């Protein structure tokens, strides 16, 4: 079974989806079905119901209250090749309040800096924002770049973490 809970944030609702206490999806949407549709077929075969996600929901509240490292303690799981998994691990290791370029993220994952496209692809396919903080990756040419949930959400997340 997949349990879902939607929480309010200053940049809109944040839907969380978990199986067995592990987040499998999270994103800035009021409709958890949008996130559910992005899951693997094996997870989409499971029933979906609303519930209280306990520590994950509490971590979001703490994050919003300024404890920006709170999301780090929540276990996450999403599909991907071994290289993709290394990129997701490297993303989770980028400290809140800092940003890295796509090339730097590739290097942190043990790839050459020229693997910036692979890093960008991992960010674009990330199912568990902001717990896997792809918002902390910005273009080396400046600006914020794109974000699945919109640049204003990315800007808010980066600013919120920088203030904390």
Q: Which residues are annotated as catalytic?
A: 134
**Which residues have CB under 8 Å from 71's CB, separation 6+?**
59, 60, 63, 130, 131, 133
Handedness of CA 23, 67, 91, 10 (dihedral sign): positive
Distances in Å between the Cα of 60 and the Cα atoms of 43, 63, 90, 97 are 23, 5, 21, 16
Strand partners, 14: 7
H/E element, 18 = strand 14-19
* Residue pair 91/60 in contact by the 8 Å Cβ criterion: no
* CB 56 within 8 Å of CB 23: yes
Sign for the CA dihedral angle at 34, 36, 37, 39 comes to positive
């Amino acid at each position: 079974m997949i349990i879902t809970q939607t929480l309010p944030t200053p940049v809109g609702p944040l839907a969380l989806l978990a199986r067995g206490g592990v987040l499998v999806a999270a994103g800035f949407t009021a409709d958890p079905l949008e996130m559910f549709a992005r899951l693997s077929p094996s997870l989409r075969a499971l029933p979906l119901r609303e519930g209280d996600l306990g520590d994950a929901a509490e971590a979001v509240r703490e994050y919003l209250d300024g404890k920006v490292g709170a999301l780090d303690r929540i276990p996450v799981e999403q599909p991907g090749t071994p290289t993709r998994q290394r990129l997701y691990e490297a993303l989770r290791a980028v400290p809140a309040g800092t940003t890295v370029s796509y090339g730097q993220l590739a290097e942190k994952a043990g790839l050459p800096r020229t693997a910036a496209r692979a890093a960008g692809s991992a960010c674009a396919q990330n199912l568990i924002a902001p717990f896997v903080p792809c918002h902390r990756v910005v273009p080396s040419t400046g600006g914020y770049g794109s974000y699945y949930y919109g640049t204003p959400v990315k800007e808010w997340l980066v600013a919120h973490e920088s203030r904390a």
